[in-house]
């Protein structure tokens, strides 16, 4: 979730945003096609290597993309894949997909949040936390819940690069630092 977005990924994802804004393809269909593309690439590291290789000619890459992806993705994404192959940016595709999804979430007023607790929380308690985050951020919250028993108690909330750590483990660590510094 806390993934740095490179300038290249940002530029290429903005091209996809513009394509969607022009009405050529929906945000949802772009994400679906990018997921399909990544699934194909992840199941075939050789294909990924070929599409990233400077030793493979432009024409060969275009033929490979056409043969493999034509029946799997929309014409817009097929053409997009050809452009990123031409520019030798295939290795950036996963980062582009991440940047695109983040931008679409921003446009749609959504925010992805990672919430870590030491134990499974009740649905009622989760709902209260989501409501407070929604009110605080003024966005629809897409929550990902994780359990980490090492935090002992409390909650760790990660939003983009920001972390709110109310865990017992964090409080004990801070207390220990205070004792070592002689502030207590």
DSSP collapsed to 3 states, 23-58: CCCCHHHHHHHHHHHHHHHHHCHHHHHHHHCCCCCH
CATH number 3.40.50 given to 7-105: no
pLDDT of 4 strictly over 80: no
Location of each CATH 1.10.520 domain in the chain: 7-105
Which CATH class name applies to 109-181?
A: alpha beta
- Supply the pTM of this predicted model: 0.73
The band of 184, judged by pLDDT with boundaries at 50, 70 and 90, is: low
The band of 3, judged by pLDDT with boundaries at 50, 70 and 90, is: low
Location of each CATH 3.40.30 domain in the chain: 109-181
Average pLDDT value for the chain: 91
Position 160 scores a pLDDT of: 84
pLDDT of 113 strictly over 50: yes
Contacts of 85 (CB under 8 A, 6+ apart): 51, 58, 61, 62, 65
């Amino acid at each position: 979730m806390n993934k740095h977005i490179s300038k290249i990924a940002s530029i290429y994802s903005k091209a996809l945003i513009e394509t969607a804004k022009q009405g050529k393809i929906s945000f949802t269909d772009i994400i679906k096609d990018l997921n399909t593309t990544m699934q194909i690439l992840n199941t075939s590291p050789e294909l990924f290597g070929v599409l990233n290789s400077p030793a493979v000619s432009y024409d060969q890459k275009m033929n490979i993309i056409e043969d493999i992806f034509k029946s799997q993705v929309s014409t817009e994404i097929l053409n997009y894949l050809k452009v990123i192959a031409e520019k030798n940016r295939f290795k950036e595709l996963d980062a582009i997909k991440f940047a695109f999804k983040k931008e679409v979430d921003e446009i749609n007023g959504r925010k992805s949040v990672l919430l870590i607790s030491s134990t499974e929380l009740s649905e009622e308690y989760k709902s209260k936390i989501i409501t407070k985050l929604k009110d605080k951020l003024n966005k629809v919250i897409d929550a990902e819940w994780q359990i980490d028993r090492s935090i002992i108690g409390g909650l760790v909330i990660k939003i983009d690069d920001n972390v709110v750590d109310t865990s017992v483990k964090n409080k004990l660590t801070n207390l220990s630092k205070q004792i070592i510094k002689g502030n207590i």
